[in-house]
Amino acid sequence: MAVRARYFTDPLCPRSWALEPMLRLLEVRYAGSLAIEPVAVGLFRDPPRDASAALERARDLLEAAKTPGMPVDPRVWIGREPIRSSHPACLAVHAAVELDSARVPWLLRRLREAALCEQQRVDGVAALCELAAAVGYERERFARALESNATLERFGAAIEEGRAAQARAGSEHLTPLFEFDFGDRKVVASASMSAVEAVLAQGGVTAGRIDESPASLLRRFRSLTASELASCLDLPLPRAHAELWAEVLAWRAQPVAVTGGGFLFRAA
């Protein structure tokens, strides 16, 4: 039986976007023995108070993504129409849980890509329903779930649970954090590979052999960056870039240029 891990995050969290290569690696290394459940906890309730605060958020995004080499578009905070709040996107994640929890990771990923790489608005009902429809949710049902009291209550409870996990971890940041459920105990871990693997090892969860190819990972995750492919297959970053462009040349992937630099590669 797979160990369940709650992953406290926010669709607009820069540290969570930077963590995507590690998250992909966990999913392939512990396939079948670890089930990761995203829990949206609302990092940005209000818009930046002024231009200086907006620039600070843009800098945080660029700095967080720099080391793992994840592509970002800082105009999410400093563009012509910057996003007001991450709470609507968080509500979308909780609405998705109510309708079909299996598709939640796909929706969360699309929200991240849309906001952090494509300068799309993810703080309005129409935009959120469009993104949900793109991963298989029915628009009208999703719209009703998005505006339901149950979704709002689930979001409020998640915020409190996230804060409790943050306090137990002694973490400076609310997101990203992991809470592992081993049945008789729950363990909170910071978002680093060493911390997560140490907790899994203590719980008797062992890593499996990774038998994947760039093409199979692209089909599985629907989109990849070179950093994610490099992490999953332990490749040098230039080799990962080459492998993904080979998928493009074979008509199995579509490249999406990101204004801040770099590419997303989507399964064709």
Q: Which domain holds residue 233?
A: 214-267
pLDDT digits over 14-48, tens only? 999 999 999 999 999 999 999 999 999 999 999 99
Model confidence at 50, pLDDT cuts 50, 70, 90, reads very high
* Domain end residue (candidates: 150, 173, 190): 150
* Strands (E) located in 138-194: 177-181, 186-190
Do 219 and 134 belong together in one domain? no
pLDDT digits over 91-116, tens only? 999 999 999 999 999 999 999 999 99
Do 146 and 62 belong together in one domain? yes
Do 14 and 146 belong together in one domain? yes
In a domain, 205, yes or no: no
CA 257 to chain centre: 19
What pLDDT was estimated at residue 80?
A: 82
Do 142 and 219 belong together in one domain? no
What pLDDT was estimated at residue 40?
A: 98
Do 218 and 141 belong together in one domain? no
In a domain, 208, yes or no: no
In a domain, 185, yes or no: no
Do 108 and 26 belong together in one domain? yes
Closest CA to 96 of 57, 59, 56, 129: 129
Secondary structure element (H or E) that encloses residue 94, with its range: helix 87-99
CATH code at position 225:
1.10.10.10
Total domain count for the chain?
2
Do 224 and 141 belong together in one domain? no
